[in-house]
Copies of this chain bind each other. A is one copy, B any other.
Amino acid sequence: MSLSVRLRHDFPGFAMDLAFEAPPGVTVLFGRSGSGKSTVMRAVAGLMRPDGGRVALEGRTLFDGDRRIHLPPHRRRLGVIFQEARLFPHLSVAENLRYGARFAPRGGAEDTARVVEMLGIGALLGRRPGALSGGEKARVAIGRALLSRPRMILADEPLAALDAPRKAEILPYFERLRDEAGVPVLYVSHAAEEVARLATTVVALENGRVLRQGSAAEVLGDARVMPTGVRSAGAVIEAVLHAHHPDGLSELDAAGIALFLPCIDRAPGARIRLRIAAQDVMLATARPQDISALNLLPGTVAAVLPGQGPGAMVTVDTAAGRILARITGRSARALGLAPGVPVWAVIKSVAVAPGGIGVSPP
């Protein structure tokens, strides 16, 4: 299941001209407010007719400007989670959730009870949308799209209105969609953690154009591409879950290096991806002693990229993969960091954001 998008559209004062491929998995559209993310969503969903271009899902053409093909939205069957909830005001929450199922082919039924449970909307089923809070509306909208058994999901900042624990409950569901159900997802987000955790592919947009496109590791690990600010920089590394320890830590094996993280709810053997934000990595030229950080990765400095401000981005090659560390230029100089210098990357177990740990896409 892969989506291929090429779009050209002019609004007065905003021109969009872009192309990207969304391979199976979650493709995150990443970009600043007004960069064209929702417009791409609308075009893919068939809610607008772009001036030109082509959209195809699994080789099936949904839109083709030259061949004047424009499949109407209901025949595309893409489950759209809109930036605003767009619930049907005259239907109860339960009826909203059931809405899509009547038009979907039988079979492959999503488990309603499970989705309701995950979204924590069980108590709201009898209410009308007018009596819901902002975050409750957002959750019902997610449920409605998921339960319509779509061929693909387009989610436009689905979690923006939610609190952190709720986000943490819902994110694994998208992961499962990506990995188990095989439903491709086009996902808009401003949150680096969500991106790092979910993205198979990241498409960074700027001003209606694709700034960079590639795997999550490539784009987020690229010190020069930080489309939404410096805090989105970070490396994504892959590891295998080795064992669960009785004190609640999980031990991972990243190419021979042991990493300790707070309990990861997977069976040993699972392939795990971690996002390690650049600012959470410390570097030391000697192996630190007597320190609370459990994860020490030996490596070699590959590059030191001074930033515009006081910071510097240091790329360190370790056996587990390339790691980014954002430190101060002063420290870089004090430690004499330069390509080739051996260093220890120090990472606290708890600094790895729970949002940043996920199951690797297969």
State the CA gap A247–B327 with chains docked (Å).
Answer: 13
Tell me if B248 and A329 are in contact (CB < 8 A). yes
**How does the 8 Å CB contact mask read for A207-242 relative to B, with 1 for contact and 0 for none?**
000000000000000000000110110000000000
Inter-chain contacts of A289 with B (CB < 8 A): 284, 286, 288
CB distance from A143 to the nearest CB of B (A): 14
CB < 8 Å neighbour of A292 from B160, B247, B248, B328: B328
**How does the 8 Å CB contact mask read for A252-275 relative to B, with 1 for contact and 0 for none?**
000000001011000000000000
Inter-chain contacts of A53 with B (CB < 8 A): none
Copies in the complex: 2
Which one of A17-25, A69-77, A95-103, A347-355 is at the interface? A347-355
Tell me if A133 and B38 are in contact (CB < 8 A). yes
A135 at the A/B interface (Cβ < 8 Å)? Answer: yes
Instruction: Tell me whether A331 and B293 are in contact in the complex, defined as CB-CB below 8 angstroms, given that A32-B165, A161-B157 are known contacts.
Output: yes
Tell me if B290 and A286 are in contact (CB < 8 A). yes
State the CA gap A84–B257 with chains docked (Å).
Answer: 48
A283 at the A/B interface (Cβ < 8 Å)? Answer: yes
A34 at the A/B interface (Cβ < 8 Å)? Answer: yes
Chain B residue with the shortest CB-CB distance to A133: B34
Which residues of A20-47 are within 8 A (CB) of B?
31-34, 37-39
State the CA gap A162–B289 with chains docked (Å).
Answer: 41
CB < 8 Å neighbour of A293 from B164, B228, B282, B326: B282
CB distance from A14 to the nearest CB of B (A): 9
Instruction: Tell me whether A292 and B288 are in contact in the complex, defined as CB-CB below 8 angstroms, given that A32-B165, A135-B33, A349-B328 are known contacts.
Output: no
Instruction: Tell me whether A291 and B288 are in contact in the complex, defined as CB-CB below 8 angstroms, given that A123-B13, A263-B309, A348-B327 are known contacts.
Output: yes
Tell me if B84 and A134 are in contact (CB < 8 A). yes
Instruction: Tell me whether A350 and B279 are in contact in the complex, defined as CB-CB below 8 angstroms, given that A134-B83, A162-B33 are known contacts.
Output: yes
Tell me if B310 and A262 are in contact (CB < 8 A). yes
Q: List 11 A-B contacts (CB under 8 A).
A: A33-B136, A33-B163, A33-B166, A157-B161, A163-B190, A164-B228, A245-B330, A263-B309, A279-B350, A284-B288, A284-B290
